């Protein structure tokens, strides 16, 4: 199975800060990487797929990058509504696996 390691597990940042979350796969996944946002008590929401393709309706302050085994989700200017847990997920090989999540809090 492909293991997905996210870091940090949590962070606290101020409104308008630039925030970066990283995700490392245990083997190369050829940009088959998605990012989801989940707020408490709600289902996850897809933000990006193919490492950097922003989903329709997702704010443009979210961006993704990376290649091989290392990927990054960046929030260019953190907003109060971005308080949530973020998960990466690889779709390169079965079983599809998720990172353990990064909880983003607003200071």
Applying CB under 8 A, the residues found at the interface with another protein are 1, 32, 34, 36, 38, 43-46, 49, 55, 87, 89-92, 94-101
Nearer of residues 76 and 103 to another protein, judged by Cβ: 103
> Minimum CB separation from another protein for residue 29, in Å?
11
Distance CA 72, CA 58 (A): 16
Which residue in 38, 39, 40, 37 sits closest to 48, CA to CA? 37
Chain position carrying tokens 């597990």: 9
> Minimum CB separation from another protein for residue 77, in Å?
26
Distance CA 25, CA 7 (A): 12
Nearer of residues 33 and 78 to another protein, judged by Cβ: 33
Nearer of residues 10 and 77 to another protein, judged by Cβ: 10
Distance CA 48, CA 37 (A): 10
């Amino acid at each position: 199975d492909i293991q997905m390691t996210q870091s940090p597990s949590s962070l606290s940042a101020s409104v308008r800060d630039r925030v970066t979350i990283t995700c490392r796969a245990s083997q190369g996944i050829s940009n088959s990487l998605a990012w989801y946002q989940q707020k408490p008590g709600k289902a996850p929401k897809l933000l990006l797929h193919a490492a950097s393709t922003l989903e329709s309706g997702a704010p443009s302050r979210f961006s993704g990058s990376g290649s091989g085994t290392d990927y990054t989700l960046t929030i260019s200017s953190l907003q109060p509504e971005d308080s949530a847990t973020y998960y990466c997920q690889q779709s390169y090989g079965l079983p599809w696996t998720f990172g353990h999540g990064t909880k983003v809090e607003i200071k």
